[in-house]
């Protein structure tokens, strides 16, 4: 079973401590079975596959998927065999760890071989991975033989099978009723999951390759006061209840693993309306299946088996019977292996305030049974707890909700309905009393108010983000205000009603179009002409979104015959190079056939538009770069690197040198400061032959007088005065001719 709440300090992108467990679907288990096993199952179903080795898994799956086949096979099974299949339906989990399944059957007084042999022969249950030896029996289901194996049931089993009360003498009961009885309202899990759903809806969580959470996301959950705050009505607090809520939320679909992504996102708000009433039963069923247990390579065994075993035996007792917790533990110790006490983890021990090497006292069966029944089972409303005898030993009794979750009784009667249970404060805080809540109302509140504290009294906050979430989920402003008014003890404060309308008004100014077509005209006058001549019809009319741009929802309503199209653009594709640079380096012209509606906004950041000549027929819009336009761009934060990248993407060529030079003049970020331009009157010496100039540049009397050489027969004299050169040449007998 995969740990959905990995929060170790070294949980990061490169964490390679292991891969997640493979999926345990029925068809996956069939694909892993050997041809010998598949042929044996097909023969039991009346089909002779011969000696084929291919296509057997698909043939078997198709056979069992046929309408009525699984139901017919289950009708022919014995009550004991159907009781084993009912465990899958009870927990709504298709894959059970084999050791835990065997311990559950032992605890119920059933022989695992008698329960599983026939359903496995018919393919109703498939082991994954299969036994190494096809003829090797799996019994007994102990860790040495089937450790790490899972038993996977056909999906129809979860819909068809049901669990019955165990037969035989149950645990010893008390002679008198327990005292100081406590029973939870069963809403704690729903409230915590609602707070978790809001956190994931605000910002999705990110999971590692092992399926856990990254440290920053886990820390965000641990620091949320509504999700991670102390539980008010609890007898044995879970060591890490945030992990419990996270596991349950993912198992019931309140949080969803986003496909082809590493994110965990909140389910649509419609899940509260669709499953709100049944949410407590869904949560309890997943908890019975052990979704919160982490095996880390080992089978949970009795730690998981104790959950259904204990509740089923409590259901078999007479109505009103109480069982001492220590007596129940001693009775179960004779039927099952002792459970394994959880090893201390650093984070859990820091929460509990004891050292990691301290061993928990007491018998393992009693300790695990105490944490199971007085912890989640009590919080979920499955058992009520009292005190027995002078020693005030805890005693437990199954509730109506617990019997209903086991499929052994009708739905529990609803609590008395309290219509007014909200106090809406002028400071936008809401106080809600638990007595008036139910799962459906919790879901409605979670859609437009933010849970801030969970306890005997619950507090929520109204803000713009919460109202926006409620409107996005399909609620209206009137529905939110009417609902708060109907359930409020006092009238809704005027300031709160006005703020809700104001927040909704901000959202109304934003309109979302799933798809639309944008039409850009060459001038505002052409747009007005098009609007005037637009044919009326059933489609929504065009919407002006700029002085030259129209938005059309239905592309089929566009009168293309009246327009001269210069080009079309699909904005799902990356931007194209659509700007041409003029020979002067500062002129820019956007090609409408390849451009898009963003190009003009991009150009206006660092260039100025050039008025279009009335005689020009082209639709190209021209811009020019100037020191003033570049100065404006620099003040708005545009850098030289960003401008260079724009030229590369939009022109397909590097930035022109003249633009780079102008950028240095205006002090662009990333540009070197502009240097002064030097000017002078150089004296140039020209000779008839190159070797003459070579001699002048090499002779010690004339060499210091020359600067840069301009070519084979020309060079610059360092001083503009030719007198020094004339004297040096005269000593050599050479005449200097001045032109």
Does one domain contain both 551 and 574? no
pLDDT of 631 above 70: yes
Residue 376 lies inside a defined structural domain of this protein: yes
What value, to the nearest 5°, has the Cα angle with vertex 340 and ends 336 and 341?
Answer: 135
Residue 623 phi/psi, 5-degree rounding, is -135, 160
**Residue that finishes a domain, picked among 561, 596, 630:** 561
Does one domain contain both 654 and 700? no
Length of the chain measured in residues: 739
Residue 19 lies inside a defined structural domain of this protein: no
Residue 355 pLDDT: 40
Q: Is the model more confident about 263 or about 618?
A: 263
Interaxial angle between packed helices 302-316 and 279-288, expressed in degrees from 0 to 180 and rounded to the nearest 10: 120
Does one domain contain both 550 and 642? no
For residues 432 and 144, give the distance between their C-alpha atoms in angstroms, rounded to a whole number. Answer: 53
Does one domain contain both 371 and 399? yes
**Residue that finishes a domain, picked among 655, 677, 699:** 677
For residues 482 and 463, give the distance between their C-alpha atoms in angstroms, rounded to a whole number. Answer: 17
Helix (H, G, I), strand (E, B) or coil at 334: coil
Q: Which residues contact 326 (CB under 8 A, 6 or more apart)?
A: 366, 393
Query: Which helix (H) or strand (E) covers residue 710, if one does?
Result: strand 706-711
Domain residues for the domain of 374 are: 179-353+361-405
Order of all β-strands in the sheet with 393-398: 179-182, 383-388, 393-398, 323-324
Does one domain contain both 251 and 153? no
Does one domain contain both 672 and 688? no
Residue 416 CB burial class (10 angstroms; 0-12, 13-18, ≥19): exposed
Does one domain contain both 199 and 295? yes
Tell me the two tokens of residue 268.
């649509």
Residue 612 CB burial class (10 angstroms; 0-12, 13-18, ≥19): middle
Tell me the two tokens of residue 566.
């210069």
The residues pairing with 451 across neighbouring beta strands, listed in sequence order, are: 460
Residue 26 lies inside a defined structural domain of this protein: no
Does one domain contain both 291 and 329? yes
For residues 419 and 464, give the distance between their C-alpha atoms in angstroms, rounded to a whole number. Answer: 26
Helix (H, G, I), strand (E, B) or coil at 208: coil
State in Å, rounded, how far the first CA of the chain is from the last one. Answer: 99
- Residue 272 · residue 440 · CB < 8 Å: yes
Confidence band of 344 (pLDDT split at 50, 70, 90) = low
Helix (H, G, I), strand (E, B) or coil at 478: helix
Helix (H, G, I), strand (E, B) or coil at 16: coil
For residues 378 and 546, give the distance between their C-alpha atoms in angstroms, rounded to a whole number. Answer: 61
**Residue that finishes a domain, picked among 100, 129, 160:** 160
In Å, how far are 13, 60, 126, 573 from 46, measured between CA atoms?
Answer: 51, 11, 18, 56
pLDDT of 677 above 70: no
Tell me the two tokens of residue 257.
């693993």
Tell me the two tokens of residue 426.
């002028």
Share of the chain above pLDDT 70, in %: 87
Q: What is the mean pLDDT of residues 74-89?
A: 90
DSSP 576-587: ---EEE-TTSSE
Residue 2 lies inside a defined structural domain of this protein: no
What is the tens place of the pLDDT at every residue in 141-172?
888 778 788 899 999 988 888 888 888 888 99
Order of all β-strands in the sheet with 608-609: 579-581, 587-590, 621-624, 608-609
Residue 14 pLDDT: 34
For residues 188 and 458, give the distance between their C-alpha atoms in angstroms, rounded to a whole number. Answer: 11
What is the tens place of the pLDDT at every residue in 369-405?
999 999 999 999 999 999 998 888 999 999 999 999 9
In Å, how far are 191, 430, 501 from 425, measured between CA atoms?
Answer: 21, 6, 17
Does one domain contain both 260 and 398? yes
* Domains contained in the chain, number: 6
pLDDT of 11 above 50: no
Does one domain contain both 152 and 71? yes
Residue 10 lies inside a defined structural domain of this protein: no
Closest by CA to 373, choosing from 247, 234, 232, 245, is: 234
Helix (H, G, I), strand (E, B) or coil at 397: strand
> Among 618-627, 637-646, 702-711, where is mean pLDDT lowest?
618-627
Sign of torsion over alpha carbons 322, 325, 331, 336:
positive
Does one domain contain both 489 and 554? no
What is the tens place of the pLDDT at every residue in 107-145?
999 998 899 989 998 999 998 887 766 666 777 888 877
Residue 322 lies inside a defined structural domain of this protein: yes
Residue 13 lies inside a defined structural domain of this protein: no
Confidence band of 9 (pLDDT split at 50, 70, 90) = very low
Confidence band of 613 (pLDDT split at 50, 70, 90) = low
For residues 456 and 233, give the distance between their C-alpha atoms in angstroms, rounded to a whole number. Answer: 8
Residue 130 lies inside a defined structural domain of this protein: yes
Tell me the two tokens of residue 338.
């002792």
For residues 698 and 691, give the distance between their C-alpha atoms in angstroms, rounded to a whole number. Answer: 10
Give per-residue burial for 243-274: e unless 16+ CB within 10 Å, then b. Answer: bbbbbbbbbbebbbeeeeeeebebbebebbee
Q: What is the mean pLDDT of residues 83-105?
A: 89
pTM over 0.85: no
Tell me the two tokens of residue 668.
């662009």
Closest by CA to 148, choosing from 354, 336, 1, 303, is: 1
- Residue 71 · residue 161 · CB < 8 Å: no
What is the tens place of the pLDDT at every residue in 287-328?
998 888 865 446 788 889 999 999 999 999 998 899 999 999
Does one domain contain both 267 and 130? no
């Amino acid at each position: 079973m995969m740990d959905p709440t990995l929060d170790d300090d070294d949980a990061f992108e490169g964490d390679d401590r292991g891969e997640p467990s493979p999926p345990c679907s029925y068809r996956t288990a069939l694909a892993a079975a050997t041809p010998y096993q598949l042929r044996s199952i097909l023969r039991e179903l009346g089909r002779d596959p011969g000696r084929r080795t291919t296509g057997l898994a698909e043939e078997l799956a198709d056979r069992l998927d046929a309408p009525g086949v699984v139901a017919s096979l289950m009708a022919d099974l014995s009550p004991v065999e159907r009781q084993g299949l009912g465990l899958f339906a009870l927990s709504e989990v298709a894959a059970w760890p084999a050791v835990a399944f065997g311990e559950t059957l032992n605890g119920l007084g059933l022989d695992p071989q008698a329960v599983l042999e026939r359903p496995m022969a018919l393919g109703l249950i498939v082991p994954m991975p299969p036994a190494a030896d096809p003829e090797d029996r799996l019994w007994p289901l102990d860790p040495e033989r089937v450790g790490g194996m899972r038993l996977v049931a056909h999906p129809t089993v979860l819909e068809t099978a049901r669990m019955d009360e165990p037969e035989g003498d149950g645990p010893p009961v008390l002679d008198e009723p327990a005292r100081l009885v406590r029973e939870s309202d069963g809403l704690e899990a729903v409230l915590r999951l609602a707070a978790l759903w809001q956190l994931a809806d605000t910002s999705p969580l990110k999971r590692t390759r092992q399926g856990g959470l990254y440290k920053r996301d886990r820390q965000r959950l641990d620091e949320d006061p509504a999700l991670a705050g102390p539980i008010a009505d609890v007898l044995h607090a879970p060591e890490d209840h945030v992990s419990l809520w996270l596991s349950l939320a993912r198992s019931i679909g309140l949080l969803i693993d986003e496909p082809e992504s590493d994110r965990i996102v909140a389910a649509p708000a419609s899940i509260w309306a669709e499953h709100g009433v049944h949410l407590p039963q869904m949560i309890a069923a997943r908890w019975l299946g052990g979704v919160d247990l982490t095996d880390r390579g080992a089978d949970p065994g009795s730690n998981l088996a104790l959950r259904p075993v204990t509740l089923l035996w409590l259901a078999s007792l007479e109505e009103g019977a109480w069982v001492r917790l220590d007596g129940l533990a001693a009775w179960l110790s004779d039927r099952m292996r002792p459970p394994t006490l959880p090893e201390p983890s650093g984070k859990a021990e820091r929460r509990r305030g004891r050292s990691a090497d301290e061993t928990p006292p007491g018998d393992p069966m009693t300790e695990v049974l105490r944490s199971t029944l007085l912890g989640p089972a009590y919080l979920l409303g499955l058992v009520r707890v009292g005190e027995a005898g002078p020693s005030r030993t805890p005693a437990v009794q199954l509730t109506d909700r617990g019997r209903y979750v086991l499929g052994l009784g009708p739905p529990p009667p609803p609590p008395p309905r309290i219509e007014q249970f909200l106090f809406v404060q002028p400071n936008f805080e809401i106080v809600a009393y638990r007595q008036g809540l139910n799962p459906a109302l919790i879901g409605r509140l979670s859609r437009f108010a933010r849970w801030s504290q969970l306890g005997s009294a619950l507090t929520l906050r109204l803000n713009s983000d919460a109202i926006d979430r409620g409107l996005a989920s399909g609620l209206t402003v009137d529905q939110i205000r009417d609902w708060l008014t109907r359930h409020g003890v006092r009238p809704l404060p005027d300031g709160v009603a006005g703020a809700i309308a104001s927040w909704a008004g901000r959202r109304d100014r934003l309109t979302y179009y799933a798809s639309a077509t944008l039409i850009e005209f060459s001038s505002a006058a052409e747009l007005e002409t098009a609007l005037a001549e637009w044919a009326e019809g059933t489609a929504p009319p065009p919407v002006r979104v700029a002085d030259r741009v129209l938005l059309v929802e239905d592309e089929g309503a566009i009168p293309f015959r009246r327009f001269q199209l210069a080009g079309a653009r699909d904005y799902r594709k990356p931007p194209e190079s659509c700007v041409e640079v003029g020979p002067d380096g500062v002129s820019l012209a956007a090609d409408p056939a390849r451009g898009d509606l963003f190009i003009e906004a991009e150009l206006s950041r660092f260039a100025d538009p050039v008025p279009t000549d009335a005689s020009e027929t082209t639709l190209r819009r021209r811009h020019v770069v100037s020191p003033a336009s570049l100065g404006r761009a620099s003040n708005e934060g545009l850098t030289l690197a960003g401008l260079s990248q724009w030229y590369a993407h939009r022109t397909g060529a590097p930035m022109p040198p003249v633009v780079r030079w102008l950028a240095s003049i205006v002090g662009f970020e990333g540009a070197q400061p502009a240097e002064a331009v030097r000017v002078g009157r150089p004296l140039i010496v020209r000779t008839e032959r190159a070797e003459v100039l070579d001699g002048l540049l090499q002779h010690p009397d004339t060499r210091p007088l020359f600067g840069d050489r301009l070519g084979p027969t020309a060079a610059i004299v360092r001083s503009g005065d030719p007198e020094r050169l004339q004297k040096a040449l005269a000593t050599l007998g050479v005449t200097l001719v001045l032109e």
